[in-house]
Chains A and B, each alone.
Chain A
Amino acid sequence: MPLDFGIKLTIEGYEVLTDTTPEHHSVWSKYKNLKMMDDPGTWPTSVTILSGNFNVDYTVTHNLGYQPLFDLYFEDLDGRMVHIPGGSLDTYGTNGRIVSETTNAITARLGRASSGYPSNVTYSVFHYVFVDPNDPAEY
Chain B
Amino acid sequence: MLFNSLHYLIFLPLVLLLHWMSPRGFRVALLLLASCYFYMAFIPKFILILFALILVDFAAGIWIEKSEGNQKKFALVFSLCANLGILFFFKYYNFFASNLPLSLPILKVVLPIGLSFHTFQSMAYVIEVYRGKVPAERNLAVYALYVLFFPQMVAGPIERPGNLLPQFHSMKPSLSESEVVVGLRYILWGLFKKMMIADRLTLFVDPVYTSPSEHSGIAFCLATFFFAFQIYCDFSGYSDIAIGSARLFGIRLMRNFDTPYASASFSEFWKRWHISLSSWFRDYVYIPLGGNRSSFGWQCFSLFVVFALSGFWHGANWTFLVWGLLNGAYLIIEKGIGFQKIKMPKFVAQTLVFLFISYTWIFFRANSLKDSFYIVARLFSGEFSGASLSTALKTVGWSVNQLGVALLLIVFLVLSESRALQRNVPESLARLPRVVRWGAYAGLVLLILNYSPYVTVPFIYFQF
To the question of whether A and B form a pair in one complex, the answer is no
**Measuring CB to CB, which residues of chain B are less than 8 angstroms from any residue of chain A?**
none
Q: Show the binding face of A for B, using Cβ within 8 Å.
A: none
